[in-house]
Amino acid sequence: MNTVLTPSAVPFPPASGGWREGDPPGHRQWHLQDKSLPLEAGGELPGVRLAFETWGRLSPDGSNAVLVLHALTGDSHVAGPAGPGHPTPGWWDGLIGAGLALDPHRWFVVAPNVLGGCQGSTGPSSPRPDGPAWGSSFPFLTQRDQVAAEAGLADALGIGRWALVIGGSMGGMRALEWAVSYPERTDALLLLATSAAASAEQIAWADIQAQAIRGDPNWRGGDYHDAAPGNGPHAGLGQARRLAHVTYRSEPELAVRFGRAPQGTEDPWDGGRYQVRSYLDHHAAKLVRRFDAGSYVTLSQAMNSHDVGRGRGGTRSALGRVTARTLVAGVDSDRLYPTSQQAELAAGIPTADHLRVIESPYGHDGFLIEVEQVAALVSELIG
């Protein structure tokens, strides 16, 4: 397994890149649920805590609340600079702010870190109620479990109905589950680069990434959180990120950006790297410093479990439950979540119109990068 880390990864990262107790809280708030969360696969999860961030204020009638749901390696920090407690700037920084599509002077925006994540919410790197990290004993989660936890957060905030629920990729899976599980609590819905169910190919890519992590000797069966810096499953997590990142971008973009060029003075015929490998190494090194390998596996498994029609009479029946005003958009260059999957959603949701297409050379990541096009869709729904 490739263990190369870029110079930015020295000194060695901690065993887990997730947020830990005692780290700066940043702009996070927390909600601790007073009851254990029943899980779809059986059993229950005690001590559920969700980290979240907010922008704006809830109106007296509670009608201005917007729920923003992040993708696999995202977190609650949708907007704002990097700083203490926040290793990266906001991942949709151009969407929330004065004069933007989600203006905090008008909207109360809520962004939770997903259950099973690693940036303040309960996940494998979190302490169990009896002290040590959950690690390998963290239970299997589904998207429905995660949405049930988010419904508890909404209750705690006094939000009976969302003016808009928006998400892309994994966040889009949860946004769809919100509209199907709680149609009476979802007024408008924006689904981006997502699907009604995880496809065989999506499951395959996610499983390969999880196997890369599990194959790292420092994985230790998932119980590595007390390891010394540099002794976590960084190689496996980095390799998972490399694999994923190729699927997130498009072949034409990689060809234009990198082609077959070597990295600087390195010679690929003599142990050196091509530029594209240097690019992937860079993203791998960044992720191991801000993410937890156990969360990566847990969330990948939850994504693979995604099937909105499970136990609901199939996809068509489940989509028929949606009553929210809905827009569905795909990215024209997305090879991981092709637009045919979004077309199925647009055709099956009674309140959706034709499929919208985000034009982008950046592949699946286009829903994150083409913020102006996403903002236009938001404004169309709730402008």
Active site residues per annotation: 169, 334, 364
Residue pair 68/122 in contact (Cβ under 8 Å)? The answer is no
Neighbour tally for 158: CB within 10 Å: 9
Tokens coding 48: 């559920």
Phi and psi dihedrals of 137, rounded to 5?
-90, 0
How far apart are alpha carbons 357 and 241 in whole angstroms? 26
Neighbour tally for 230: CB within 10 Å: 15
How far apart are alpha carbons 277 and 281 in whole angstroms? 6
